[in-house]
């Protein structure tokens, strides 16, 4: 069964490589900013490069923040990549300026506190028990390019909801969230489309799970 995936086109760069990687993972991919098409897709991928504030402005211009909320309310899968993950948090702070995010998760995205920033290159990750996203690639390296990250995880769970699976990484002594699996909402701080065989396997895991 072919899964229909929309890569959300809202003015952020790097979308073509994401489209190609998802196609190789077995998805039928549409690149569009159309609200209804994205709402109806089996899976939605929200890419993102550059500044948090610019990505949020682009998202809001096409009602992408509402789109993400609508999909998640209906249990429809969403995958955020890089800044597409960061905008899922409540706030982003860049150069002293705070920008509201989509607020699917609490907490702020802030500058990495490491001797060398940006964090650019391959890194291992600390994967939690029960992961589906990282099945078969738990010990592999993934490709990161970023200066900001969620450096804490603040979501309080209760008995009615399954606890999110949070994957961590470290750069220059600073620990940050590398990926999250939270029901229909998944996200990676790294770029799976640039992470070779390991990234390809992760995208296949996500596409396969679309049903």
Give the tens place of pLDDT for each residue, 119-133. Answer: 999 999 999 999 999
Supply the pLDDT for residue 163.
Answer: 86
CA separation for the pair 148, 164 (Å, rounded): 21
149-164 pLDDT tens trace: 999 998 877 665 678 9
Fold of 3-208: Rossmann fold (3.40.50)
CB atoms within 10 A of CB 1: 7
**Which residue among the candidates 119, 146, 171, 191 is catalytic per the annotation?**
191
> What mean pLDDT do residues 31-41 have?
98
By three-state DSSP, how is residue 38 classified? helix
In percent, the amount of the chain with pLDDT more than 70 equals 98
Structural domain spans, the chain? 3-208
55-108 pLDDT tens trace: 999 999 999 999 999 999 999 999 999 999 999 999 999 988 999 999 999 999
Instruction: Yes or no: say if 150 and 176 are a contact pair by the CB < 8 Å rule.
Output: yes
Supply the pLDDT for residue 160.
Answer: 58
Supply the pLDDT for residue 159.
Answer: 60
**Which residue among the candidates 82, 102, 119, 171 is catalytic per the annotation?**
82
Cis peptide upstream of residue 118 (ω within 30 degrees of 0): yes
Per-residue burial over 97-115, b if 16 or more Cβ lie within 10 Å, else e, is eebebbebbebbbbbbeee
**Which residue among the candidates 104, 140, 181, 193 is catalytic per the annotation?**
193
> What mean pLDDT do residues 161-182 have?
94
Band (pLDDT 50/70/90 cuts) for residue 12 is confident
Band (pLDDT 50/70/90 cuts) for residue 186 is very high
| Residue 193 is a catalytic residue | yes
| Residue 82 is a catalytic residue | yes
Work out the mean pLDDT of the chain and round it to a whole number.
Answer: 95
């Amino acid at each position: 069964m072919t899964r229909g995936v929309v890569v959300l086109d809202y003015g952020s760069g790097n979308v073509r490589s994401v489209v190609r990687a998802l196609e190789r993972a077995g998805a039928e991919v549409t690149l569009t900013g159309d609200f209804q098409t994205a709402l109806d897709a089996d899976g939605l991928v929200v890419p993102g490069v550059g500044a948090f504030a610019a990505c949020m402005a682009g998202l809001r211009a096409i009602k992408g923040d509402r789109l993400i909320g609508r999909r998640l309310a209906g249990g429809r899968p969403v995958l955020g990549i890089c800044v597409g993950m960061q905008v899922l948090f409540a706030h982003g702070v860049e150069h002293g300026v705070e920008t509201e995010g989509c607020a699917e998760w609490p907490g702020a995205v802030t500058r990495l506190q490491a001797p060398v920033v940006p964090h650019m290159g391959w890194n291992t990750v600390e994967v939690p028990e029960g992961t589906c996203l990282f099945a078969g690639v738990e010990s592999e390296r993934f490709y990161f390019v970023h200066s900001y990250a969620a450096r804490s995880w603040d979501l309080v769970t209760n008995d009615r909801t399954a606890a999110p699976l949070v994957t961590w990484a470290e750069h220059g002594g600073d620990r940050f969230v590398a990926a999250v699996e939270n029901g229909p909402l998944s996200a990676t701080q790294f770029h799976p489309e640039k992470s070779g065989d390991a990234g390809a396997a992760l995208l296949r895991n996500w596409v396969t799970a679309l049903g």
